[in-house]
Amino acid sequence: MLKQMGLRDGKVVEAPTETCCIEIYVAPDPAERKRLVEDFKIDEHTLISALDPDELSRIEFEPDHAALIVKRPKNYSSEDNFLFTVSSLGLFMYKDRLVAVQASDISLFEGRVLGALRSVQDVLLRAVRSTIFHFERHLKTINALTDELEGEISTAMTNKHLLNLFTLEKSLVYYLNAINANGKLIEKLRNNTARLGFTPEQVEFLDDIAIENNQCYELAEIYAQVLAGLMDARVSVVSNNLNVLMKTLTLVMIAIMMPTLVISAFSMNVRLPVEQEAGALSFWAIMGLAAASTLAVVAVWRLKKW
């Protein structure tokens, strides 16, 4: 799928073919891939890398364009079962045109707007900054899910919620690697500002992007350390909840067994003295002893604070 965009009044808007300077290819079909390789002279391996979620961030310089592979979060859905993964984004910057290639339809220009967009270099930097915004938003979602799972674990006796926490911890590892790779890409952009035709204002904006990416990495690292550090405690909580349940069930079984023992003793097929002495009251005497045995178990339970 192809989206054609242009710059108008400092913003990215849809534009006809004649005036578009930004082309966004979402999951390009064979015909679109052929056009990207033949018309835009994009290396076929680099094009495949832009659609490969396992590809690392990097920048390559071709005779007529610069090719960037940027990591960004993949859209999360309930079917992912708490697993947050990353995807790749290919940005190919020409002198007066920017071509973006991505596997899924994700907005390239979200986040806070800082200044008007006047050139493809501005759009490129805005797209790179948008990936940081997406990472930060997903990190907040992961933190909220962690807090929710912690509340469930406090009363849980199964491993379901623990496995979800392990999945979130795995997601943070993916995010740390992706954000770190983007940081190295941003550093390479800073070392090639003249070659990319960046203005002093764009270089300053690139410095701000580097700072934001470092802050995003530190935030993800803190979340990962906290999640890993408290995992053992959460495992102990689940084990303790199970032990408390087993203790409660054991005490209930003892409370049931005591009156059963009393009644069993008086219901044996032999004649007992109580039958002659108590007469018709023997039934109620036996039931009273059974009830007293249950009360005795409850009293000991309370006294020992079990």
Given a cut of 80, whether residue 272 has pLDDT beyond it is no
The predicted pLDDT at position 217 comes to 94
Which of 198-207, 266-275, 296-305 comes out lowest in average pLDDT?
Answer: 266-275
The predicted pLDDT at position 131 comes to 92
The predicted pLDDT at position 139 comes to 92
Percentage of the residues of the chain whose pLDDT score is greater than 70: 85
Given a cut of 60, whether residue 182 has pLDDT beyond it is yes
Tell me the pTM.
Answer: 0.76
The residue that leads in pLDDT, 228 or 132, is 132
Which of 162-176, 194-208, 246-260 comes out lowest in average pLDDT?
Answer: 246-260
Given a cut of 80, whether residue 234 has pLDDT beyond it is no
Across the chain, what does the average pLDDT equal?
Answer: 82
The predicted pLDDT at position 114 comes to 61
Given a cut of 90, whether residue 16 has pLDDT beyond it is no
Given a cut of 90, whether residue 179 has pLDDT beyond it is yes
pLDDT confidence bin for 276, thresholds 50/70/90? low
The predicted pLDDT at position 177 comes to 93
Percentage of the residues of the chain whose pLDDT score is greater than 90: 22
pLDDT digits (tens, 9 = 90+) for 91-103: 999 888 899 999 8
- Tokens 């990936």 belong to residue: 131
Amino acid in the structure at residue 153: I
Average confidence (pLDDT) over 215-228: 89
Average confidence (pLDDT) over 64-92: 87
- Listed in sequence order, the residues at least 6 apart from 167 whose beta carbon sits closer than 8 Å to its beta carbon are 81, 82, 83
